[in-house]
């Protein structure tokens, strides 16, 4: 295990398991959960750090994984150019209080090749909508890698951002369906001052696109306000939101929908809790965001 100051980088599954066995043996009788886990693809920002800080507050030891998972990228997507500032990420994790960075190679993780590997296929009722429509196989890649990460790290609690709301639903469902002994903890979305949801992909935006990007969040807020103030039905508010974005030529809207916050069933009429979700391309950059509406 290669150590930097107060943080360790673990590259193999066997070493990761040895560490967690040792930690769990020490933790017997402790009140706090032993291992909190934050899976990421790196290029860390305040959104990731809020997950890590929550984990540090709630758990005795925190593992952050940094793994750009080839299985969740489509052939035309940005796997090769995805940012990988590893040393900077390591320092941010150290400052946030993480103890171990799990950083396997793709070879270590997909020994039999990613295509012939056993996969976890989440139920269609969660994946045949929203991001699943334009990202075929994406949630299979996500569920598979998260299960593999869980079985290497064996965490007590795992932290996921509401920013990737459909992903969060897929993970919760996998944990439930497969009886995994992990508590999934959702963490609210962290935004820039102008409302843009933080994302590792925001660095791809040109200056002009960056100025326009908060329009996604503004559209979500307008839909929520129209509906909760009773000024418009849900379908009219969504229609207005779609029209508003279609008037900005730089945006190519993929979806703007409202869904049941648990089942992700697409709603025709407002109910609570519900989640309003949006995805659009701005130039070449695909952005997603959502707002949970709770009473």
Residue 61 or 138: the one with the smaller Cβ distance to ligand AMP is 138
Residue 146 or 253: the one with the smaller Cβ distance to ligand AMP is 146
Q: 57 Cβ partners below 8 Å, 6+ apart?
A: none
Residue 48 or 135: the one with the smaller Cβ distance to ligand AMP is 48
Residue 24 or 70: the one with the smaller Cβ distance to ligand AMP is 70
Instruction: Compute the least distance from the CB of residue 270 to ligand AMP, in Å.
Output: 25
Query: How far, rounded to the nearest angstrom, does the alpha carbon of residue 240 sit from its chain's CA centroid?
Result: 28
Instruction: Please report the beta strands in 143-273, taking only residues with DSSP state E, as ranges in sequence order.
Output: 157-161, 183-187, 251-260
First-to-last CA distance in the chain? 48
Instruction: Compute the least distance from the CB of residue 186 to ligand AMP, in Å.
Output: 9
Tell me which residue of 39, 43, 49, 120 sits closest to 81, measured CA to CA.
Answer: 43
What gap in Å lies between CA 155 and CA 38, rounded to an integer?
Answer: 9
Residue 48 designated active-site: yes
Catalytic residue among 48, 61, 103, 138: 48
What gap in Å lies between CA 165 and CA 169, rounded to an integer?
Answer: 6
Instruction: Compute the least distance from the CB of residue 30 to ligand AMP, in Å.
Output: 26
Cβ atoms of 7 and 99 closer than 8 Å: yes
β-pairing, 7-10 with 2-4?
antiparallel
What gap in Å lies between CA 178 and CA 175, rounded to an integer?
Answer: 5
Instruction: Compute the least distance from the CB of residue 35 to ligand AMP, in Å.
Output: 17
What gap in Å lies between CA 270 and CA 56, rounded to an integer?
Answer: 37
Residue 190 or 292: the one with the smaller Cβ distance to ligand AMP is 190
Instruction: Compute the least distance from the CB of residue 161 to ligand AMP, in Å.
Output: 2
What gap in Å lies between CA 102 and CA 9, rounded to an integer?
Answer: 6
Contact residues toward ligand AMP (CB under 6 A) are: 40-41, 47-48, 50-51, 160-161, 163-164, 187, 189-190, 197-200
Residues annotated as catalytic (active site), given as ranges: 48
């Amino acid at each position: 295990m290669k150590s930097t100051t107060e943080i360790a980088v673990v590259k193999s599954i066997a070493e990761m398991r040895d560490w967690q066995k040792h930690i769990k043996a020490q933790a017997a009788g402790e009140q706090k959960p032993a291992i909190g886990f934050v899976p990421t693809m790196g290029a860390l920002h305040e959104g990731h750090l809020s997950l890590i800080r929550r984990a540090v507050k709630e758990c005795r030891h925190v593992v952050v994984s940094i793994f750009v998972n080839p299985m969740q990228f489509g052939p035309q997507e940005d796997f090769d150019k995805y940012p990988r500032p590893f040393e900077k990420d390591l320092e941010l994790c150290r400052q946030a209080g993480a103890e171990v960075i799990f950083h396997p190679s793709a070879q270590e993780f997909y020994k039999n090749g990613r295509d012939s590997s056993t996969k976890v296929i989440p139920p269609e009722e969660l994946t045949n909508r929203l991001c699943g429509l334009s990202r075929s196989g994406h949630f299979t890649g996500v569920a598979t890698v998260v299960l593999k990460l869980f079985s290497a790290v064996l965490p007590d609690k795992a932290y996921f951002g509401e920013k990737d709301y459909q992903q969060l639903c897929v993970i919760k469902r996998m944990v439930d369906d497969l009886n995994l002994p992990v508590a999934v903890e959702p963490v609210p979305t962290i935004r820039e001052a102008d409302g843009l949801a933080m994302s590792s992909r925001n660095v791809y935006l040109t200056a002009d696109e960056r100025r326009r990007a908060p329009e996604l969040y503004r559209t979500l807020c307008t839909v929520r306000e129209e509906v909760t103030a009773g000024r418009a039905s849900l379908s009219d508010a969504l229609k207005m939101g779609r029209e508003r974005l279609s008037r900005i030529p730089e945006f190519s809207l993929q979806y703007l929908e409202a869904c049941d916050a648990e089942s992700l069933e697409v709603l025709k009429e407002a109910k609570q809790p519900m989640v309003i979700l949006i995805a659009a391309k701005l130039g070449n950059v695909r952005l997603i965001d959502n707002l949970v509406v709770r009473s």
